[in-house]
Structure 1
């Protein structure tokens, strides 16, 4: 059997995994308007940067930020981006001067 063949076992596992994810998300108490705003607004600057400058930001980064925005909301995701950027700047500064 080729490695790119889809089997019935793979389909069953995928459906079960998707069902578990849907149930898990349903059990989380999330504010839908804040989550949808986070999904749309937070990755927008990353998407614009990817459109303006080629090979700057990949699509996976944009999707990751969108998922973070959905689950954390706008404020928490922006704060997380700021904190991670500050940590990255400190790390680069220390590694260049070491």
Structure 2
């Protein structure tokens, strides 16, 4: 799936696309305004990539202490840009083209 296809699935569809990895699933639900589902998909995962998405989700929530904890687990610096910029950056990490 390309970035544009992913964006179109958010803007035009009410059903999550098939075969998205868990990170894109989480970001898709976040974009649809379903933070809880986005968080539930990632919360139990231990890898660094999931920790990075988890950090972003806690920024969205406004829990900066928890976000910093997850950035540390992800071995990533705390993101200083906007939430939208970080979301786009994360999506681009997981899509092709």
Pair in the same fold by TM > 0.5: no
Please give the TM-score of this superposition, normalised by the length of structure 2.
0.27
Please give the TM-score of this superposition, normalised by the length of structure 1.
0.27
Q: Which has the larger radius of gyration?
A: 1
